[in-house]
């Protein structure tokens, strides 16, 4: 008997006709029992046929490559959804290899969908979904994010359990799930361009520092000795000064260029912030601090 071709009305006609033909109450009750039994069988067979004909909706963990030390997204993808308005999903992972970070809606979930997340149990994240805009089609459903604790070459297993779904009419949706073993690759490290920029910046700063140092006039040099006697402060350009002991002349780079000898007078050619430009007996010009000379 094909349940798709059986018409209960035919059974009713058959039972009534038979009862009239026999004309007995006992026969009528017997035929009625047969009719009820046959209708029950047809209903059960039809329901079983519909359940077997339903195509399961596939929910799987996407196969992505993880990066050691990074925070990576592991999409949960649904295939063949049709009018789903509520779901219960449990995402499992190895807490020794991955650490839960956060969850975002996938493309198939509208922005006004209600998504509740419970990550309190290490290794399992419970997600509840309710939406006024039914989920249909194929694509990312959820976008969980994990901190990758595992080293390069390790494997992280992300799975799904106790997944259930309901359609717009409140009926259960047949679901099948697929876990994934995800490979962990090594971190990429700092970009080469970034390293080059850092090195270039250090070189430029070094060059600029040298140039600024070369422009300092006069050099800030601590006195190497003190005058034997203290006289009036040295005068301006054109005045003469002398020293009580040998004093070294310095150029603008703080390098020694000559020496002033005691017992001789030296003419000041220029005065600049407490430094005097003079020429020693050998004709070497340089700078000497005002604290080192007497007038």
pLDDT value at residue 7: 44
Q: Residue 292's closest CA among 251, 243, 237, 236?
A: 243
Please, what is the average pLDDT of the chain? 78
Q: Residue 106's closest CA among 170, 69, 60?
A: 60
pLDDT value at residue 288: 82
Can you tell me whether residue 224 is helix, strand or coil? coil
Q: What is the spatial distance between Cα 117 and Cα 71, in angstroms, rounded to a whole number?
A: 18
pLDDT value at residue 12: 36
pLDDT value at residue 21: 41
Select 217-295's CATH number: 2.30.30.40, 3.90.1150.10, 3.40.50.720, 1.10.357.10: 2.30.30.40
> pLDDT tier at 295 (50, 70, 90 boundaries)?
low
Q: What is the mean pLDDT of residues 79-94?
A: 96
pLDDT value at residue 105: 96
H or E element, residue 268: none
pLDDT value at residue 184: 96
> pLDDT tier at 25 (50, 70, 90 boundaries)?
low
Q: What is the mean pLDDT of residues 230-243?
A: 61
Asked whether residue 48 carries a pLDDT value surpassing 90, the answer given is: no
Instruction: Render pLDDT for 147-156 as a digit per residue (tens, 0 to 9).
Output: 999 999 999 9
Give the domain 57-185 fold. Immunoglobulin-like (2.60.40)
Asked whether residue 232 carries a pLDDT value surpassing 50, the answer given is: no
Phi and psi at residue 116, to the nearest 5° = -105, 135
pLDDT value at residue 84: 96
**Cβ contacts of 40-49, under 8 Å, gap ≥ 24:** 41/1, 42/1, 42/3, 42/6, 42/8, 45/1, 45/3, 46/3, 46/4, 49/3, 49/4
> pLDDT tier at 11 (50, 70, 90 boundaries)?
very low
Asked whether residue 31 carries a pLDDT value surpassing 80, the answer given is: no
Of the listed ranges 14-28, 117-131, 195-209, the one predicted with least confidence: 14-28
Asked whether residue 251 carries a pLDDT value surpassing 80, the answer given is: yes
pLDDT value at residue 214: 55
> pLDDT tier at 73 (50, 70, 90 boundaries)?
very high
Cα four-point dihedral sign 163, 166, 172, 173? negative
pLDDT value at residue 231: 36
pLDDT value at residue 90: 98
Q: What percent of the chain has pLDDT over 90?
A: 43
pLDDT value at residue 61: 98
């Amino acid at each position: 008997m094909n349940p798709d071709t059986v018409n209960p009305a035919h059974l009713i006609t058959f039972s009534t006709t038979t009862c009239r033909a026999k004309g007995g109450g006992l026969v009528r009750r017997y035929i009625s029992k047969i009719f009820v039994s046959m209708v029950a069988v047809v209903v059960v067979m039809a329901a079983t046929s519909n359940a077997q004909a339903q195509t399961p909706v596939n929910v799987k963990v996407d196969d992505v490559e993880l990066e050691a030390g990074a925070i990576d997204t592991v999409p949960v993808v649904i295939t063949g959804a049709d009018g789903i308005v509520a779901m219960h999903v449990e995402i499992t992972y190895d807490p020794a290899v991955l650490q839960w970070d956060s969850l975002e809606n996938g493309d198939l979930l509208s922005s006004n969908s209600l998504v509740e997340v419970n990550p309190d149990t290490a290794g399992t994240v419970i997600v509840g979904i309710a939406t006024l805009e039914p989920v249909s089609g194929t694509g990312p459903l959820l976008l969980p994010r994990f901190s990758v604790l595992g080293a390069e070459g390790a494997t992280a297993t992300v799975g799904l359990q106790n997944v259930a779904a309901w359609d717009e009419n409140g009926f259960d949706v047949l679901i099948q799930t697929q876990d994934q073993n995800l490979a962990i690759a090594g971190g990429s490290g700092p970009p080469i361009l970034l390293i080059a920029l850092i090195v270039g910046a250090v070189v430029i700063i070094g060059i600029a520092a040298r140039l600024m140092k070369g422009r300092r006039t006069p050099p800030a040099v601590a006195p190497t000795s003190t005058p034997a006697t203290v006289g009036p402060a040295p005068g301006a350009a054109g005045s003469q000064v002398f020293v009580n002991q040998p004093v070294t002349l310095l150029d603008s780079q703080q390098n020694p260029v000559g020496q002033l000898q005691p017992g001789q007078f030296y003419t000041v050619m220029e005065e600049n912030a407490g430094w005097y430009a003079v020429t020693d007996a050998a004709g070497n010009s340089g700078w000497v601090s005002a604290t080192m000379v007497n007038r």
